[in-house]
């Protein structure tokens, strides 16, 4: 009986690495180390903690998810790995995935080939906590009840993960924090770039967020690879022109931009879009978000009266972010692209302050920006000049 008990226990704790063929076409030891850093350094998983890992049956994300499962066992956590079909921008998560959040796992990891998926219950009848509304149970757990911590890595690859996760987190946190303090104090920020970007954003009442890889306390989370400081502009204040010239997110995946996308912005919203094929894809995604918002309301998937709000915010400027990961580069995968040095990015769609809901959040890169913060007393500070950080 005792030997049978040991046998069952060993099967319960078996790792994916034990089932991996010796002929794997990547360096599993490097992936194992990156996964260890994610679990032990970034999330600091502790003995007995529930670790919910959600992924898709696609080679790269599934492989990383399995490595994180193994690393969670090494950290004496209790991992559960769920696979669901790939979820593009407008798709809903599987009911079993949403139900898994109801178990209140202490740690949540999303390794999605595209998106985690929307929460149909949360969108139709938002969760409420301390006067705030959340349209996804994940956001409710993370930002409302603060009962979990997390990282999410949409569309990452094994090559990117092993290259960009093992970085100097002490230095990364220093840079992220320094930039956050500047943006927190600023009332306006101006961004200009050689590609034609020239835009001003209001920041009154807004606080920046630092995606620095430190996700060790409940209510904290971000991307891996980490490495950006970002802020949601004051609603209705963005004025000028954004010329995306790096990469851009669309309904299904991301695109490297060959012909710059020019967006005219008035009173916080994109009014005109011009360029080549990439611009046409961006406009098609925005128009689909506008159309789907109204259709979702009619179908009862959005609360009555909110369809017009979601549709309007499909053109909202919801984020300014500045890349700070020294190992990141522009690859056509936005998760990594937006962390690259010498770039900033803007998002079209929902923001991070929960007051501009939309069905989309489309990040787009601008290369070699000059970013200037303006303070209440009229003084200014250049954060980045022609893509080079100044004093940070």
pLDDT tens per residue, range 223-232: 999 999 999 9
Specify whether 304 is located in the same domain as 232.
yes
Is 208's pLDDT higher than 80? Answer: yes
Q: What is the number of other CB atoms lying within 10 angstroms of the CB of residue 276?
A: 12
**By CB neighbour count within 10 A (0-12 exposed, 13-18 middle, 19+ buried), where does 376 fall?**
exposed
| pLDDT of amino acid 2 | 40
pLDDT at 24 over 60: no
Where is average pLDDT lowest: 37-41, 86-90, 188-192, 285-289?
86-90
Residue 335: per-residue pLDDT = 95
Is 316 part of a structural domain of the chain?
yes
Q: Which of 113, 132, 124, 140 is nearest to 58 (CA)?
A: 113
Q: Which of 33, 53, 72, 70 is nearest to 112 (CA)?
A: 53
How far, in Å, CA of 103 to CA of 92, rounded? 19
If you search the block for the tokens 């430190």, which residue do you land on?
A: 214
Do 141 and 258 reside in the same domain of the chain? no
pLDDT at 1 over 80: no
Contact predicate 142/53, CB 8 Å: no
Whether 127 and 186 map to the same domain: the answer is no
Does 15 score more than 80 pLDDT?
no
Considering the domain architecture, whether residues 97 and 180 belong to the same structural domain is answered as no
Please tell me the total count of domains within the chain. 2
Does 173 lie in the same domain as 146?
no
State whether 217 and 122 are in the same domain.
no
Asked if the model's pLDDT at residue 25 lies above 80, the reply is no
pLDDT at 372: 98
Shared-domain flag, residues 178 and 138: no
Please indicate, yes or no, whether residues 182 and 259 belong to a single structural domain of this protein: yes
Domain span at residue 213 reads 168-389
342 and 196 housed in the same domain:
yes
Distance CA(390)–CA(384), nearest Å, equals: 5
| CATH number of the CATH domain containing 43 | 3.40.50
Residues 221 and 261 grouped into a single domain = yes
Mean pLDDT across 184-194: 98
Which pLDDT tens digit goes with each residue over 76-133? Answer: 999 999 999 999 988 999 999 999 999 999 999 999 999 999 999 999 999 999 998 9
What confidence tens digit (pLDDT) does each residue in 258-310 have? Answer: 999 999 999 999 999 999 999 999 999 999 999 999 999 999 999 999 999 99
Residue 308 lies in a domain: yes
Mean pLDDT of 356-382: 97
Identify the pLDDT of residue 213.
Answer: 96
157: in domain: no
Per-residue confidence band for 334, with pLDDT thresholds at 50, 70 and 90: very high
- Both 205 and 141 in a single domain? no
Measured CA to CA, the distance from residue 198 to residue 242 in angstroms comes to 6
State the pLDDT at residue 3: 42
Would you say residue 160 lies in a domain? no
User: Which tokens hold the place of 146?
Assistant: 């603060």
């Amino acid at each position: 009986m005792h030997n049978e008990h040991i046998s069952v226990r060993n099967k319960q704790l078996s790792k994916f690495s034990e089932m991996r063929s010796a002929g794997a076409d990547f360096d599993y030891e490097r992936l194992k180390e990156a996964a260890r850093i994610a679990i032990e350094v970034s999330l600091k998983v502790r003995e007995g903690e529930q670790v919910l890992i959600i992924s898709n049956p696609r080679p790269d994300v599934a492989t990383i998810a399995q490595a994180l499962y193994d690393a969670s066992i090494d950290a004496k956590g209790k991992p559960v790995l769920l696979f669901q079909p790939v979820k593009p921008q407008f798709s809903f998560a599987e009911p079993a995935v949403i139900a898994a959040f109801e178990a209140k796992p202490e740690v949540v990891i999303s390794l999605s080939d595209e998106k985690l998926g929307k929460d149909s219950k949360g969108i139709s009848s938002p969760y409420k906590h301390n006067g705030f509304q959340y349209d996804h149970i994940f956001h409710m757990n993370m930002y409302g009840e603060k009962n979990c911590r997390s990282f999410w890595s949409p569309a990452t690859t094994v090559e990117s993960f092993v290259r960009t996760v093992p970085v100097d987190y002490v230095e990364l946190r220093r840079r992220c924090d320094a930039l956050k303090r500047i943006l927190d104090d600023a009332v306006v920020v101006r961004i200009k770039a050689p590609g034609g970007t020239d835009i001003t954003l209001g920041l009154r009442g807004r606080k920046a967020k630092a995606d620095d890889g430190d996700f060790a306390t409940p209510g904290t989370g971000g991307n891996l690879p980490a490495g950006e400081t970002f802020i949601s502009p004051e609603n209705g204040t963005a004025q000028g022109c954004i010329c995306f010239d790096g990469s851009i997110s669309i309904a299904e995946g991301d695109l490297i931009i060959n012909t710059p996308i020019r967006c005219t912005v008035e009173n916080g919203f994109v009014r005109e879009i011009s360029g080549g094929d990439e611009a046409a894809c961006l406009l098609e995604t925005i128009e689909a978000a506008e159309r789907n918002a109204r259709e979702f309301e009619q179908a009862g998937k959005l609360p009555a009266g909110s369809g017009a709000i979601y549709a309007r915010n499909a053109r909202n400027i919801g984020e300014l972010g500045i890349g700070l990961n020294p190992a990141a580069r522009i690859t056509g995968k936005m998760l990594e692209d937006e962390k690259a040095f010498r770039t900033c990015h803007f998002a079209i769609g929902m923001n991070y302050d929960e007051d501009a809901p939309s069905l989309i959040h489309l990040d787009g890169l601008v290369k070699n920006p000059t970013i200037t913060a303006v303070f209440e007393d009229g003084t200014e500070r250049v954060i980045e000049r022609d893509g080079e950080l100044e004093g940070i």
